[in-house]
């Protein structure tokens, strides 16, 4: 008598084997991945470079050789822009002109210049525009540039001013106060 042996493998065993092989294969594909040639380093901060370039156009001075400070104060805050070189009389004059222009524009509710520099609507400016009658802007000459003092007694306006200054600090990679 000849016996026949059933050598078929049950379907659930086939499925488990297939899935195990798939997982092992996928894990093997997770080896060391190298970036393509020329991409070994992360890309430069093109957003910051754009802010610097547009800032030069808007403010009339090289942003890489100038220093910004965006300081929150209890009644608003201030924006300081100074040249690194005290002998740069043309750059200092350009900064002072810029601060006066900004004071005039902001008083009238025009925040398009920061929008241009940052290539987007700047946080706080919508409220600063809506509450512009409650905010004062005073340009001040400094030995190496200028300052824009922003004041208000309106809590919502002060909060918007602080939002504006916080965004400026971040996007300009700038200080929040002078050393």
Which pLDDT does position 150 carry in this prediction? 97
165, 69 in Cβ contact below 8 A?
no
Residue 29 burial by CB count (10 A; 0-12/13-18/19+): exposed, middle or buried?
exposed
Could you tell me the pTM of the whole model?
A: 0.69
For residue 83, being part of any structural domain is answered with: yes
3-state secondary structure of 80: strand
User: Which residues contact residue 113 at a Cβ distance below 8 angstroms, ignoring those fewer than 6 apart?
Assistant: 58, 101, 102, 105
pLDDT band (50, 70, 90) for residue 153: very high
| Number of domains into which the chain is organized | 1
How many whole angstroms separate alpha carbon 110 and alpha carbon 116? Answer: 12
For residue 31, being part of any structural domain is answered with: no
Strands 135-142 and 76-83: unpaired
Task: Report the range out of 78-82, 110-114, 151-155 with the highest average pLDDT.
Answer: 151-155
List the one residue out of 105, 102, 103, 94 whose CA is nearest residue 145: 94
Residue numbers of the domain that contains 77: 54-172
For residue 46, being part of any structural domain is answered with: no
């Amino acid at each position: 008598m000849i016996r026949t042996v059933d050598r078929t493998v049950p379907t659930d065993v086939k499925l488990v084997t297939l899935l195990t092989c798939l997982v092992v294969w996928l894990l093997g594909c997770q080896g060391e991945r190298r970036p393509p040639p020329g991409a070994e380093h992360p890309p430069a901060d093109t957003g910051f470079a754009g802010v610097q370039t547009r800032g030069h156009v808007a403010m009339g001075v090289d942003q890489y050789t100038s220093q910004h400070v965006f300081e929150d104060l209890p009644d608003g805050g201030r924006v300081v822009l100074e040249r690194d070189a005290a002998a740069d009389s043309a750059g200092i004059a350009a900064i002072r002109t810029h601060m006066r222009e900004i004071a005039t524009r902001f008083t009238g509710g025009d925040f398009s210049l920061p929008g241009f520099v940052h290539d987007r609507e700047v946080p706080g400016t919508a409220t600063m525009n809506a509450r512009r009658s409650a905010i004062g802007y005073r340009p001040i000459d400094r030995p190496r540039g200028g300052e824009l003092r922003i004041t208000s007694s309106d809590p919502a306006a002060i909060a918007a001013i602080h939002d504006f200054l916080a965004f400026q600090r971040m996007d300009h990679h700038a200080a929040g106060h002078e050393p």
